[in-house]
Amino acid sequence: MSRDPPAERNSPAVREARHAYATWMLATGLQQQLVYIDETGFNLWTKRTYGRARCGERVHRAVGGQRGRNTTVIAAIAEHCGILYHEIHYGSVTKEVFSDFIASLAAIIGDARSILVLDNAPIHNGIAAVYPELNFKFLPPYSPYAMMVHTTIVYTMMVYAMVVYTMMVYTMMVEAMMVEAMMVEAMMVYTMMVEAMMVEAMMASESHMYCALGIPSSLQTETKIR
């Protein structure tokens, strides 16, 4: 499937902005306490898009019975401590929600002169005017790879997907073991039934033999005891 990237992604103006950002990062940014802030949305109703099956058979996958709610995570990541602060919201994140997040983050940072690095998402517009006492640094347009928090969020979602997949495989293994145990139990019951039928058949066959030999029924029990 082809993609249609924006024509401005690698325009001369964007490349110049990236060069200026890289120059600032090497000259000043690396010596500062940087805090990367971003948000991402996902859904806990996770399912695989591809699978394997035998030739001629359909691929089946186990999914949740009800679709989960859309969830948005806002995270602030710093180099010196990892995840500094995060919030989880159900649904989309508005400017008001993001502003409250910055207020909570500012209380955690305190007097530390950190630089808050943001991308150019619409909900980030105007945040610097709301909190003039904080230092903000915005990424160049169309440059998500320059945001460290993106890599962390993607890695976290990959780990979550692996955990979900492992739980699904474990559930399938447990179900298979239960089916196997039921099959073993059924075989044992079937074997006991066959043995009982064989004993009854042998007893009936022995009784017919006594009758064929002309042995009275009063002597059959005594003969069996011997």
**pLDDT value of residue 221:** 47
Residue 123: DSSP 8-state = G
| C-beta of residue 7 within 8 angstroms of C-beta of residue 31 | no
Query: Is the pLDDT assigned to residue 167 strictly greater than 80?
Result: no
Q: What is the pLDDT of residues 87-138, one digit of tens each?
A: 989 888 899 999 999 999 999 988 768 999 999 889 999 999 999 999 999 9
Q: Is the pTM of this model over 0.85?
A: no
Average pLDDT over residues 4-23: 85
Query: Is the pLDDT assigned to residue 59 strictly greater than 70?
Result: yes
Please report which confidence band the pLDDT of residue 175 belongs to, taking 50, 70 and 90 as the band edges. Answer: low
**pLDDT value of residue 57:** 86
Q: Where are the domains of the chain?
A: 12-45+66-146, 148-226
Average pLDDT over residues 52-76: 82
Average pLDDT over residues 4-17: 83
The string over 150-168, giving b where at least 16 C-beta atoms fall within 10 Å of a residue's C-beta and e elsewhere, is: bebbeeeeeeeeeeeeeeb
Q: How far is CA 35 from CA 23, 104, 203, in A?
A: 18, 14, 88
- Identify the three-state secondary structure at position 55: coil
Q: Which residues contact 3 (CB under 8 A, 6 or more apart)?
A: none
Calculate the average pLDDT of the chain: 76
What CATH number should be reported for the domain whose range is 12-45+66-146?
Answer: 3.30.420.10
State the Cα–Cα distance between residues 9 and 141, nearest whole angstrom: 7
**pLDDT value of residue 222:** 43
